[in-house]
Amino acid sequence: MNEPNPTRRHGITMFILMWVALIGVLALVFQHWLDKENNPNQQVNSRLSPEGSREVVLERNRFGHYVVSGHINDFPVQFMLDTGASDVSVPERIAKRIGLQRGPEVTYNTANGPARGYMTQINTIRIGTIELHNLRASINPNVDDEDILLGMSFLKQLEFTQRGNTLTLRQIQNY
């Protein structure tokens, strides 16, 4: 029986490795595209207004939501703005990872019916140059999502304006 030519075997191996590398690169590019589609605000567009307020301009994602990268107590997280949520709502898995402490149990009335959660306090939430302190929040054990709902306990301290597919958050500076 004839053994395959070593040069041919080497060529076949290189051909297979080329296709594996190409598929890997395409998978990375596609994943980056999907991440950008879900959160077009990974790099936050911040500015200082002429009046001296801090502004963040967000772009709506393809699903119609405002999703933005930010920080809770210096831990990087992803927020979804939700004017229908009373508090900032943190999935329990993320709360454990960033060290939030469970407080008293509470029941929230949601669109899906009553939901159990736990009160907590967040020292700092930062989105771009906007930073707020000592915020009421809840730990939600009922979701496996990675998004933290940025509710009214945060948003009520800001001015916000929506025009087309952009939302401007404005933190008025008190001097």
- CATH assignment of the domain containing 136: 2.40.70.10
For residue 100, the model assigns a pLDDT of 97
Rounded Cα distance, 12 and 6, in Å:
10
10-residue stretch averages of pLDDT, the chain, 175 residues long: 71 79 66 62 86 91 94 96 93 96 92 90 97 96 90 95 94 71
Tell me: do 93 and 107 sit in the same domain. Answer: yes
Tell me: do 25 and 67 sit in the same domain. Answer: no
Residue 14: which domain range? 1-38
For residue 78, the model assigns a pLDDT of 96
Tell me: do 1 and 65 sit in the same domain. Answer: no
For residue 31, the model assigns a pLDDT of 57
Tell me: do 56 and 123 sit in the same domain. Answer: yes
Tell me: do 124 and 146 sit in the same domain. Answer: yes
Structural domain count of the chain: 2
Tell me: do 46 and 114 sit in the same domain. Answer: yes
Q: Nearest 5°: CA angle at 80, between 27 and 132?
A: 125
Tell me: do 119 and 50 sit in the same domain. Answer: yes
For residue 82, the model assigns a pLDDT of 93
Rounded Cα distance, 38 and 68, in Å:
9
Please name the residue that has the structure tokens 């790099």: 43
For residue 50, the model assigns a pLDDT of 81
Tell me: do 132 and 91 sit in the same domain. Answer: yes
For residue 1, the model assigns a pLDDT of 55
Tell me: do 164 and 142 sit in the same domain. Answer: yes
Tell me: do 20 and 50 sit in the same domain. Answer: no
Please name the residue that has the structure tokens 């997280």: 77
Q: Do residues 139 and 70 make contact, with C-beta atoms less than 8 angstroms apart?
A: no
Tell me: do 73 and 101 sit in the same domain. Answer: yes
For residue 175, the model assigns a pLDDT of 42
Please name the residue that has the structure tokens 């508090």: 87
Tell me: do 55 and 110 sit in the same domain. Answer: yes
